């Protein structure tokens, strides 16, 4: 272990602001990116499922409508 105390570690030889500012922003963005990708995927999947349900609903309605016409 390189550090004598936790305070030394945080201070980073008076460069704490720069070192931790780099690490913090990098970590935040590298958590934010996959989170946004996951959220985008969920939104898309929900939208497509709604669309497919609507389409299959329409298809079955038009099939049954065609069936009634044939029976008339």
Nearer to another protein, 3 or 63 (CB): 3
CB nearer another protein, residue 8 or residue 63: 8
Distance CA 29, CA 43 (A): 21
Within 9-68, which residues bind another protein (CB under 8 A)?
9, 11-15, 17-19, 21-23, 25-26, 29-30, 33-34, 37-38, 40-41, 44-45, 48-49, 51-52, 56
Closest CA to 29 of 21, 17, 41: 21
The CA distance from 16 to 8, in Å, is: 9
């Amino acid at each position: 272990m390189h550090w004598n105390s936790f305070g030394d570690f945080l201070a980073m030889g008076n460069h704490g602001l720069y070192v931790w500012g780099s690490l913090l922003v990098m970590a935040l963005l590298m958590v934010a990116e996959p989170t946004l990708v996951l959220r985008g995927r969920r939104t898309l999947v929900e939208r497509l499922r709604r669309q497919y349900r609507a389409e299959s609903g329409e298809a079955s309605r038009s099939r049954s409508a065609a069936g009634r016409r044939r029976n008339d």
